[in-house]
Structure 1
């Protein structure tokens, strides 16, 4: 009998290779703190250099996979989450499988034997980090494979997709989103990055009418407003995003995180703000994965029937836990009530 996972996430399956490095490492590869980029040819040696010269943590990464692990950890429920992505057939794929299994996530990996598993170099220096992603196999999800495991989609209640999928597997996202909308499920997505909004607007709009919850941070929301003609004010952009045409049976909700500032939820042109607990700066270790973890907490509580206030509180709790640890990782046991 097929397993039922309340939450199923689609995304780029990456192995995070995380290490604390000197500022010279940033300079050597021409990257800036707080930045996230795709690896170019000049960046390719960094993955081996990290493994050979630094004590590294190998952690299942990629935006949706982070969200999946976060929700699974908070849920304390076996088989709560399923993840759909692509890996190669190499040493890194085994690290990835081990990490996901340890997190309790059920992974449904399409395997590409001739392509390396996607990796992300996470350079950490004085609480700041820079991410360099080599997508490799991660960007190769095929619609035929998704259809072969369609029971995973049929047996869930919420589907979540990262915006990066609009650059590589838009048909998979759209088919999942349309099915969810037409069959009493909830499809949710994250805009993920400013470049997705700017350069993959048309693919994203194919899924937009079927999406009930859209997540993004304030910079992404501002970019959305600028690209779609809503202006650069974040609150106004969120309002207008919530009023865009939709096929969903319930109104569209836009959820905007703003760091230490209030979280916004826009619905039918109205915005509600939710406070964010302050974490003392001396406790903040690494901001990597905070946004992904917020979404994991939010969706976990949404599935359990929580109010928006409760969903935001769960998201804030998970984000606050993650930023006090290295990489997108969690304590042994959640303390969220």
Structure 2
């Protein structure tokens, strides 16, 4: 159990000029297309029904053109794992959240920045004129989705930009929580997709904002290919992180990397190495509509629990894109705003948020969801 303080809108962190949650990730324009039953697009482009991958820009452009021509009615949304989480956090009522990333100086970049401005999401965005804004084509078939992305400008987000005075001022220099665990913590969240070519930024954030402080360092596994292709970097982030999110498939892959027989053994091994004072390491493995397995502990203390996810009728599921991202948002929102929540409270609330999002196209909450100054009644 952990006991973050109840925080009103007027008390946003130990320093009201500093964001409570700062996220780093890839910026994408999501183009969602619902596939027709007679469509052969997945086969023609050698894609899988429920998968995510990065593909070359020219192939992605052809895929987008064929999907729209064949199936029509594309829907456009801001995308990117951490950005999705920030947007859902903002929609839930968390005002003091900031997203950091990069876009190109193109029309898609302008569209994305305007949408984020309209959503009142605070951003720290680097614009790179020599690169195009990242794009993701989401091919939807029932509760399955094939995510195909080229991250474009996001691949070239610079450490020098993060270190610049402008960016540093937006992130904030407050370290008043550094040695007092009764202070309100700040959360630094880095998505797994962010790792390629930008691991130096991840380490900079950890070393300068989280190491030796009460601030939380949080990451998301995001995809098996990230774990397989950037194993050394991901292991470093996972071992440093106070909170690790991922789905069961990703954790099974990670268990094999660590040569563990099961996800339970993997979690026990990671938690045994975690020796921070007055804090537990938390590991959360989702398994679609089945259950959430979560682990927590510190050193020799180890706990494993399971939560059965409430059933969402199959006919109510519109788009599972961003379900995991919205789960993270719900968990962190409850964590930051709940009154002495347990892990089960946070997991339960996260599952309810994800259950609402999969009833919409794109990673969005229903527009009719009532706002709340503390924890919204999902």
Normalised TM-score (structure 1): 0.92
Native 8 Å contact 1:284 1:323 kept in 2: yes
Paired position in structure 1 for 2:255: 225
Paired position in structure 1 for 2:314: 281
Quote the offset at 1:248 in angstroms.
7.2
User: Out of 217, 220, 230, which is 1:190 matched to?
Assistant: 220
Cα distance, 1:240–1:111 mapped onto 2, change above 3 Å: same
Higher-Rg structure is 2
User: Out of 35, 41, 45, which is 2:62 matched to?
Assistant: 45
CA distance in 1, matches of 2:305, 2:143: 31
Paired position in structure 2 for 1:311: 346
Quote the offset at 1:186 in angstroms.
0.8
Paired position in structure 2 for 1:31: 47
Native 8 Å contact 1:120 1:131 kept in 2: yes
CA distance in 1, matches of 2:75, 2:321: 13
Cα distance, 1:47–1:183 mapped onto 2, change above 3 Å: same
The SS at the match of 2:138 is strand
State the Cα deviation string for residues 140-180 of structure 1 (Å, max 9, x = none).
Answer: 11111111212333358111111112222111111112222
Paired position in structure 2 for 1:83: 99
CA distance in 2, matches of 1:39, 1:246: 40
The SS at the match of 2:132 is coil
CA distance in 2, matches of 1:37, 1:262: 25
**Could you list the runs of 5+ residues in structure 1 that have no partner in the other structure?**
none
CA distance in 1, matches of 2:59, 2:239: 39
Paired position in structure 1 for 2:323: 290
Does residue 150 (structure 1) correspond to residue 156 (structure 2)? The answer is: no
Native 8 Å contact 2:53 2:148 kept in 1: yes
Native 8 Å contact 1:189 1:214 kept in 2: yes
The answer to which of 221-230 and 51-60 deviates more is 51-60
Quote the offset at 1:307 in angstroms.
2.5
**Could you list the runs of 5+ residues in structure 2 that have no partner in the other structure?**
1-14, 175-184, 371-375
The structure with more helix, counted as a fraction of residues? 1
CA distance in 2, matches of 1:150, 1:247: 27
Paired position in structure 1 for 2:10: none
CA distance in 1, matches of 2:112, 2:146: 20
Aligned runs of 1:173-184 on 2, under 5 Å? 173-178=202-207, 179-184=209-214
Native 8 Å contact 1:174 1:206 kept in 2: no
The SS at the match of 1:134 is strand
Paired position in structure 2 for 1:260: 289
User: Out of 196, 211, 229, which is 1:199 matched to?
Assistant: 229
User: Out of 70, 86, 96, which is 1:68 matched to?
Assistant: 86
Cα distance, 1:151–1:182 mapped onto 2, change above 3 Å: farther
Query: What root-mean-square deviation, in Å, do the aligned CA atoms of Structure 1 and Structure 2 show?
Result: 2.2
The answer to which of 64-73 and 121-130 deviates more is 121-130
Paired position in structure 1 for 2:112: 96
Quote the offset at 1:246 in angstroms.
5.6
Paired position in structure 2 for 1:134: 150
Runs of 4+ in structure 1 deviating by more than 6 angstroms, as ranges, are none
Native 8 Å contact 2:142 2:317 kept in 1: no
CA distance in 1, matches of 2:211, 2:293: 24
CA distance in 1, matches of 2:229, 2:275: 22
User: Out of 358, 363, 368, which is 1:328 matched to?
Assistant: 363
Quote the offset at 1:228 in angstroms.
0.4
CA distance in 1, matches of 2:41, 2:144: 13
Normalised TM-score (structure 2): 0.82
- Larger RCO (CA within 8 A; separation ≥ 6): 2
Cα distance, 1:221–1:304 mapped onto 2, change above 3 Å: same
State the Cα deviation string for residues 188-233 of structure 1 (Å, max 9, x = none).
Answer: 00111112222212112333443100011111111111110112x2
User: Out of 137, 160, 184, which is 2:189 matched to?
Assistant: 160
